[in-house]
Structure 1
Amino acid sequence: MDTLAAPSHAAAPRAASLLRIQTIYMEPAVEDYARGREILARFPDAQRIEVPSHWNIPGLHGNEGLVGEWLRTKRDVLVLGVRKSLSCRHNGRSADWIAPGTSNGCAMACAYCYVPRRKGYANPVTVFVNIEQVCDALQRHAVRLGPKPEPNQVDPVYWVYDLGENGDLSADALVSDNVRDLVALYRRIPNAKGSFATKYVNRELLDYDPQGKTRIRFSLMPQRTAKLVDVRTSPVAERIAAINDFVDAGYEVHLNFSPVIVHEGWRADYAELFAQVADALSPRARAQIAAEVIFLTHNEALHEVNLGWHPKAEEILWVPRLQETKRSENGADNVRYRSGTKGRMVAIFKALLEEGLPGCAVRYAF
């Protein structure tokens, strides 16, 4: 494979608005990797604390007393680790395959995010430093697959790999060049493309030269709702305004309406959102646009955590009269909108989308 991208320190000033790293928890092997040393060099004044595992950090994970410091922890703390599992999981919705992620957790603080459910009362971003191993594993996987035999709702030509299931790569790019390396990887793999959803507009990605082989899914919801639950993210209007520029830079850009949160006035809010998108899209962006729609899934443990730092959000996230318990694919008990009600909601949403943004294909909705 190609060598790693040269370290770019231009991200440091941008990172200051989202990250002010004061403490770095790091596994013992981090400094054995070039990427680990590069990241440490970006934050030379941060205190370094060695821990046996990025998943088990005493005083951070499971520390109920930290819940009131949820946002400060995201801003001030970085975790560095070595990715152990390099396997891909079959998906079939957002992507054909879920790639081994190069991060876990996020610098942003969306109140509905499922990642903190395994970590307890703190969820700063964890970045994995063995990027070469991850890229090698992804390339080998694509080679074994060979050409995609037939089109599907994910993509008509390429195998698509979701690169950011448990994080936001646009924000991760403020910490390291892992994302630049992943974009370069898929630029040269002939039968595959990468994909990730984002709520953060990082215009440094415009220089990554994806050549149509990376799909960015800008996550959108009405600004009135986003102001409440999309904490520390880019404003929705900024995300919409970025779509044309990312298309012109060589990205495939889709829309990720996730999560759709049902509350009083949600239909009018989405009608307004679709009109905003329609007004903003260039003909080139409009010709390639498609959408995925995911209604809210919540969790009682996360509900309890949120009550400790952002109880206002729970007024629209935790609505038992509309929700029912459902066992997820990974065995967790989550709450989702009641099945009959949800079916009607999905139909309403798709009708609103077709009216406001006609011709925008819905790759999947649930």
Structure 2
Amino acid sequence: METPSTPAGTDRGSGARRRELLDVRTIYAEEAALALPRGQQVLARWPGAQVVEVPSVQRIPAVHGDEANVGRWVRTKTEVLALGVRKTLTARRNERSANWIAPSTANGCAMACSYCYVPRHKGYANPITVYANIDEVVGYLQRHVTRQGVKPAPDQCDPSAWVYDIGENSDASVDARVSDNVRDLVTAFAAMPTAKASFATKHVNRDLLGYDPRGRTRVRFSVMPEAVARVVDVRTDPVRERIAAVDDFVAAGYEVHLNLSPVIVGEGWLDGWAALLAELDDVLSPAAKAQAAAEVIFLTHNAGLHEVNLGWHPKGEDLLWRPDVQEAKRSGNGMENVRYRARWKAVWVQRLLDLVAERTPWLTVRYAF
């Protein structure tokens, strides 16, 4: 069995990390996806994998509907892929991190952050689903950007460009291990003078340094205090490695921002953020600091995901599930979640913003919630 081929110039550490994240043995695939060039590319990267045709990758009984998969949470992420065709091409208004959420070219992740909102929709497993009709997605986005015209005024997303989040339901740095979808999107946005692609990531994929973004793709490295990340950021790259990669991505032509996310409140939480901000100030170059901005996002959790997590990673729930300081919240997507109690959260948000202003005055916070 083979893992994806390592492109010329990729460091050995990157290849080792690829093998650790993905050892695909089963690919559930829609017939239409198998007929497309991108579907064939995915199959060629794992020629030894068993291919199982399914009517739809949105709900695969053997994957999403089997309660026993909770105990195989990480193994499923490693060994299973789904390959489908994106049926609905719609850009959704956001106006927080981005102006628009682009149609997803992937869903799910090989990493296993225990607070991730994507599995809340899935059931008992959350492997990567990759959509093979990338040409349709790119064509739709090109037409959508053209219809917007020139951005009339600056906003919190960007001073001059329409920003499209291309990784709302996945981690694009990991998706780039599976297929060339991310490369195609970066290439497309490089030719769009009025728009930018954007995605958040917890994985340092140095293959992306060989792309040609021309300043039209924003990479948002998510960071949090290392002690907390070691518990809840399962299978991700260490925070220090994400920080160390910022300068390289800036030099490669990306705009690089930081997600201070999620902010998890507990004993000594503010001290942890003080240490992290000091590290950012010490490590990042003047060039990286000059173009940096941040999003501050406090934890939102979910009762259903809490129950799933108890089956595979209960230690993380000691930090995430805090009924003593949390309250019910209906999120913008209609889901019933829990968040920190509003009156306390307002105080905590301000304390962190004050700390950012003190320790990293060069870091503009685009929004905090």
CA drift of 1:359 comes to 2.5
2:121 is the alignment partner of 1:125: no
Amino acid at match of 1:306: N
Aligned to 1:334: 337
2:328 is the alignment partner of 1:325: yes
- The one-character-per-residue Cα deviations of 1:166-186 (angstroms, maximum 9, x if unpaired) are 000000100101110000000
Amino acid at match of 1:304: E
Aligned to 1:284: 287
* Cα distance between partner residues in 1 of 2:335 and 2:156: 27
2:315 is the alignment partner of 1:312: yes
* Cα distance between partner residues in 1 of 2:359 and 2:49: 48
Aligned to 1:10: 6
2:238 is the alignment partner of 1:235: yes
Deviates more, 1:221-230 or 1:321-330: 321-330
2:79 is the alignment partner of 1:76: yes
* Cα distance between partner residues in 2 of 1:112 and 1:343: 21
CA drift of 1:13 comes to 4.0
Aligned to 1:5: none
Give SS of 1:347's match. Answer: helix
Aligned to 2:178: 175
Aligned to 1:59: 62
Aligned to 2:88: 85
- The one-character-per-residue Cα deviations of 1:90-109 (angstroms, maximum 9, x if unpaired) are 00111000000110000000
* Cα distance between partner residues in 2 of 1:56 and 1:251: 35
- The one-character-per-residue Cα deviations of 1:21-64 (angstroms, maximum 9, x if unpaired) are 01101111112210000110000000111111111211211211
Amino acid at match of 1:329: G
- The one-character-per-residue Cα deviations of 1:250-288 (angstroms, maximum 9, x if unpaired) are 000000011110011100000000000110111100100
* Cα distance between partner residues in 2 of 1:210 and 1:9: 22
- The one-character-per-residue Cα deviations of 1:131-156 (angstroms, maximum 9, x if unpaired) are 00000000000000000000011100
Amino acid at match of 1:176: S
Give SS of 1:257's match. Answer: strand
2:190 is the alignment partner of 1:187: yes
Give SS of 1:68's match. Answer: helix
Amino acid at match of 1:183: V
Amino acid at match of 1:147: V
* Cα distance between partner residues in 2 of 1:44 and 1:144: 41
Give SS of 1:174's match. Answer: helix
Give SS of 2:21's match. Answer: coil
From 241, 257, 261, the counterpart of 2:260: 257
Aligned to 2:110: 107
Amino acid at match of 2:140: A
Amino acid at match of 2:209: L
* Cα distance between partner residues in 1 of 2:62 and 2:77: 15
* Cα distance between partner residues in 1 of 2:102 and 2:61: 28
CA drift of 1:118 comes to 1.1
Q: What's the TM-score once normalised by structure 2's chain length?
A: 0.96
Amino acid at match of 2:271: A
Aligned to 1:222: 225
CA drift of 1:9 comes to 3.2
* Cα distance between partner residues in 2 of 1:13 and 1:33: 26
CA drift of 1:215 comes to 0.2
Amino acid at match of 2:281: A
- In structure 2, runs of 5+ residues without a counterpart are 8-13
* Cα distance between partner residues in 1 of 2:335 and 2:200: 23
Aligned to 1:36: 39
Give SS of 1:155's match. Answer: coil
Aligned to 1:116: 119
Q: What is the correspondence of 1:145-184 to structure 2 with a 5 Å cutoff? A: 145-184=148-187
Give SS of 2:61's match. Answer: coil
